[in-house]
């Protein structure tokens, strides 16, 4: 009888430990594309002849992550994930949050005026920490003033 009680308790303990281990193994981080994006205003959208202002303008691609491996580049304009159009630039995060690391998703984007689709295998956000380097430039569209005139006035 004593052995039966010990065996039963041991069985319950072992089952609990394996169940906890299984749930921990299933726990994954957030899906991560590996880009920094920005929204474009109507003027830039018009100048770039983009079909919509609802997109995410890629300013940085982190080396070795999903976007880089899929061939996404700075200046690309992401307009949809898995055929679902972005409502605004921040919508990219929302659409990606529906997926898990390791999922392959189709990213619709515009590069130099040409629409294209790339397949990206999403990275795991918890395995990567982004370090911001303010000395390293980001891709941007803009105009700077002519500084020669200012020097002439001094």
Residue 95 lies in a domain: yes
Beta carbons of 102 and 121 less than 8 angstroms apart = yes
Residue 62 belongs to domain spanning: 31-130
Query: Total structural domains in the chain?
Result: 1
Give SS3 for 150.
helix
Q: What is the pLDDT of residue 131?
A: 52
Q: Do residues 41 and 93 touch, judged by C-beta distance below 8 A?
A: no
Domain assignment present for 83 = yes
Q: Residue 29 CB: number of other CB atoms within 10 A?
A: 13
- How many CB atoms neighbour CB 74 within 10 A? 14
pTM greater than 0.85: no
Give how far Cα 152 sits from Cα of 49, 145, 146, Å: 36, 14, 11
| Residue 123 within a domain | yes
| Within a domain: 78 | yes
pLDDT in tens, 1-27: 555 444 444 454 443 333 333 333 344
Q: Where are the alpha helices (DSSP H) in the chain?
A: 2-26, 42-47, 66-70, 91-96, 147-153
Rounded to an integer, the average pLDDT of 32-56 is: 90
Residues 6+ apart with CB under 8 A from 104: 119, 120, 121, 122
| CATH number for 69 | 2.30.42.10
């Amino acid at each position: 009888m004593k052995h039966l009680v010990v065996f039963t308790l041991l069985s319950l303990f072992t089952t609990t430990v394996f169940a906890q281990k299984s749930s921990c193994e299933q726990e994954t981080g957030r899906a991560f594309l590996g880009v920094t994006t920005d929204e474009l205003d109507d003027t830039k959208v018009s100048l770039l002849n983009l079909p919509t202002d609802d997109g995410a303008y890629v300013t940085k691609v982190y080396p070795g992550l999903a976007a880089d491996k899929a061939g996404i580049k700075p200046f690309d304009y992401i307009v949809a994930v898995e055929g679902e159009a972005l409502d605004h630039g921040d919508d990219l995060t929302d659409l990606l949050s529906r997926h898990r690391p390791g999922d392959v998703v189709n990213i619709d984007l515009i590069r130099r005026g040409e629409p294209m689709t790339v397949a990206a295998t999403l990275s795991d956000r918890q395995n990567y920490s982004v370090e911001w380097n303010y000395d390293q430039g980001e891709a941007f569209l803009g105009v700077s003033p002519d500084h020669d005139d200012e020097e002439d006035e001094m």
